[in-house]
A and B are shown apart, each in its own frame.
Chain A
Amino acid sequence: MNRREFIAKSAILGLGATFSPAANLLAAAIPKRRKTLVLGIDGMDIKLATAFMRLGLLPNFSKLAQTGGLSTVTTSFPPQSPVAWSSFSVGAWPAVHGIYDFIHRNPATMTPYLSTSQVTAPEKTFAIGGFEIPLSSGKVVNLRKGRPFWDYLADYDIPTTIQKMPGNFPCQHDKVDMLSGMGTPDLRGGYGSFTLVTTAPPANTNKITGGMVVPIEFVDDYAEAPILGPDNTLRQGHPAVTIPFKIWRDRTNPVVRLLIQDQEFVLNQGDWTGWLHLSFTMLNHLSEVKGICKLYIKSVHPEFSMYVSPINIDPADPVLPIVSSPAYGKELARHLGPFHTKGLPEDTKALSYDIIGNGEYLDMAYQLIDESRLGMEHEIAKLARLDEGLLFYYFSSLDQDSHMFWRTIDPESPLYTKELELQFGHTLKDLYIEMDKCLGRAMNTFDIRDPNFQLLVMSDHGFGPFRRQVNLNSWLHEQGFIALNGSTDIEEGEYFADVNWDKTAAYALGINAIYLNLTGRERFGSLSSGQANSVLTKIRQGLMTLRDPKNGYKVVTDVYQTSEAEKQVNPHAPDLIVGWNLGYRTSWSSILGSFARETITDNDDRWSGDHCIDPSLVPAILFSNRKIIRAKPTMLDITATILSEHGIPIPAHMTGGSLYQG
């Protein structure tokens, strides 16, 4: 029986408060109807936030902190977003929810996969001509374990909306309105894939990841090109579905005319389109997949270049379960029109590879902030009309844009220049101000001094510089924990291609994880369980004494060792999790099992800030409209507080306590 049913039945049975001391006690234990608004601002950093507050740039955050409180918050180890937000979602650390890194691997096959969800194809199909017809549905599975806090709110019939919670894909719930977050793929099934259509393919084309270059040629100022969509799983061989489009350009004036699926645009150089609706035909008249994207005309003449954003799943007709319920999806489509549905909507890859420039990236960043603000306003208006309820609303902007623009405020970044700082050094400050404006909209809607209104603004981690990258696999090789066959150039091989597994004790995969190559667990395991502790100790000691040869800095400040009990529950758990020092992170190539000639090198990617380091160096942040009394709060305490403030007993698996008690 839930709380409302209990109260209703108590009334029917005449258990009025006047007559029943027991009911009086119960009523006293259940707080008045409450509303909770949680704004989740990924990557909001306490050092930057307090610095901007001191300058008077964030008046709404300052007012909230003065009214209630501001605190650092202990985050997960490692402080990666899927791990930290999953910890918040279920009110417990990774031992319970089982998410340890962006990437996990299947030890039996050594195949890497995104840790938070899995999309599998139908098991049974039959073939007709060139088609492969599914006889059963494919599956989309959320790999996060443990009951999230919104399940408990739903048990108590408390209206709840969860907008873009990272790791929350797919979205399926009978009672909770949800839109999926980080981990939601684009229409091609990946986690971000732009297209550059150009007459001048960049020199680094064959090294580009997270996107593709489509070369074209104009004949009499006319050209045709394809936009690649999803793989057609209904066709044998699963070829990608394409949509052709036509381009006419004016050599004299930098103008183009585009025609794609009956949608026509006339665009100047430097123009963005709004959302473009694409329909990919999988099976004539029977199966279509809907997507949305935006186009940007970089240049018209003498070279033509057009950027096509990753194709987002169309929220009005989603091919995957990105919204729950269907009625909520229709409501969002009706009120907001098309919007980004890809889990991490910012196209950081396009900026990393110079497909778009700093200014063009920021154009998109501000479009996204506007879109997020509109979505938030829609949701808080709904919350305001309720007697009781909870809204979680997520912003990705500070996280993704801090990754890309840290180089503009960090003189020690390999990419820093004074000119860059003068031109873009204000970017992060401006973005924090945008978040302050969003908070202001929420604070104008609610009375933050109302004891029955709870406002929490939280991040999942802070931020720091990413100046030097460490190839963890190369370091393990140097230390004798990985043996290589030496059959190929060390930098040519991909995904452990040259590893001699018979003589390998441990390997690194993902952003912070190290795994032992254990016999009986790993596909090519050669390390006995009796040798495991000795190897773990040696690796830990080696990392803790590692110094950067360039400057003598300590590279690692902590290493977390997963307990045997935890690995019993989560056999996929890493054996060690590396806590890098500020300025350091696992190298780009090491994450997916490649090696480098030099172990520690400069990070020359525009992705110049990071947080996948020692969590004590990048704590999360929490603003509250009530005084935070609990000493050294953790993310788990926020979850416990949400439930207890709505009169819900804290479940046994949640280990946090109320923020408002000592």
Chain B
Amino acid sequence: MPKITIAADLYDRLKDCSIIVGYSSTDEFISHVLEKEVALIEEAEDDPDVKERLKGLGYIS
């Protein structure tokens, strides 16, 4: 499994947060946060409505 490096102080904050919101481990919490962020970007990329809305402009077809 790939590993990533993050700053120690950020890891400490993530660890504290994972306990507060009740995750079973810090790793699980970090994975969940990253998944949410990636989904946001992917959703934006794949949103066909954005292009359809723009096509309402006369300048674009």
Report A's interface with B, CB cutoff 8 A. Answer: 102-103, 106, 108-114, 185-186, 188-193, 209-211, 310, 344, 346, 348-349, 352, 400, 403, 494-495, 511, 588-589, 591-592, 605, 607, 612
Contacts of A111 in B (CB 8 A): 44-45, 47, 50
Which residues from chain A contact B49 at a C-beta distance below 8 Å?
A: 189
A102 adjacent to B60 (CB under 8 Å): yes
Given A110-B45, A111-B44, A605-B61, residue A349 in contact with residue B51 (CB < 8 A)? no
- Output the least CB separation between B11 and chain A (Å): 24
3 closest A-B pairs (Cβ-Cβ)? Answer: A348-B58, A588-B61, A190-B53
| Further pairs besides A186-B56, A310-B56: 14, Cβ < 8 Å | A109-B41, A109-B44, A190-B52, A190-B53, A190-B54, A191-B53, A191-B57, A209-B61, A400-B58, A495-B51, A511-B59, A511-B60, A592-B51, A612-B59
Q: Which residues of B contact A (CB under 8 A)?
A: 41, 44-45, 47, 49-61
Please tell me if the beta carbons of B45 and A113 are within 8 angstroms of each other in the complex: no
A192/B58 in contact, CB under 8 A = yes
Cα of A186 to Cα of B54 in the assembled complex, Å = 12
**Is the beta-carbon distance between B50 and A112 smaller than 8 angstroms?**
yes
A591 B60 Cβ-Cβ under 8 A: yes
CB closest chain-B residue, reference A114: B54
Q: Which residues of A have CB within 8 Å of B54?
A: 103, 112-114, 190-191, 592
Q: How far is the CA of A188 from the CA of B58 in the complex (A)?
A: 16
The 6 sampled A-B contact pairs (Cβ below 8 Å) are A102-B57, A185-B53, A188-B53, A192-B56, A210-B56, A612-B59
B58 to chain A: closest residue by CB: A348
CA distance A588 to B57 in the complex (A): 11
With both chains docked as a complex, state the minimum distance between the C-beta of A341 and any C-beta of chain B, in angstroms: 14
B58 close to A349 (CB less than 8 A) = yes
> Which residues in B have their C-beta under 8 angstroms from that of A588?
60-61
- Interface contacts (Cβ under 8 Å), in number, total 80
Asked if residues B59 and A591 are in contact (CB atoms below 8 Å), the reply is yes
Q: Known contacts A109-B41, A110-B45; decide if A344 and B51 are in contact (CB<8 Å).
A: no
Tell me which residues across on chain B come within 8 A of A346, comparing CB atoms.
Answer: 58
CA distance A34 to B59 in the complex (A): 39
Partner of B52, one of A110, A209, A348: A209
Measured CB to CB, the closest approach of chain A to B57, in angstroms, equals 5
B51 touches A190 (CB 8 A): no
Q: How far is the CA of A346 from the CA of B58 in the complex (A)?
A: 9
CA distance A348 to B51 in the complex (A): 18
A186–B56 Cα gap in the complex (Å)?
A: 10
A113 to B45 Cα, complex, angstroms? 11
Complex alpha-carbon distance, A348 and B60, angstroms? 11
- CB of A344 within 8 A of CB of B57, answer yes
Question: B45, A344: Cβ atoms under 8 Å?
Answer: no
How far is B52's CA from A193's CA once the two chains are assembled, in angstroms? 10
Given contacts A112-B50, A190-B52, A190-B53, contact A403 B58 (CB under 8 A): yes
Query: Measured between alpha carbons, how far is A349 from B58 in the docked complex, in Å?
Result: 6
- Enumerate chain A residues within 8 angstroms of B56, measured Cβ to Cβ: 186, 190-193, 209-211, 310, 349
Report the minimum CB–CB distance from B47 to chain A (whole Å). Answer: 7
- Residues on the B chain within 8 Å of A192, using CB: 56-58
The residue on B at minimum CB distance from A80 is B59
Contacts of A349 in B (CB 8 A): 56, 58
- Residues of chain B within 8 A of A400, CB atoms compared: 58
Inter-subunit contact B59/A210 (CB<8 Å) = no
Do B53 and A189 touch across chains, with their CB atoms under 8 A apart? Answer: yes
Cα–Cα, bound, A617→B47 (Å): 37
Residue of B nearest to A111 (CB): B44
Docked-complex contact A352 and B51, CB < 8 angstroms: no
Cβ contact within 8 Å between B55 and A210 = yes
Q: Which residue of B lies closest to A211 (CB)?
A: B56
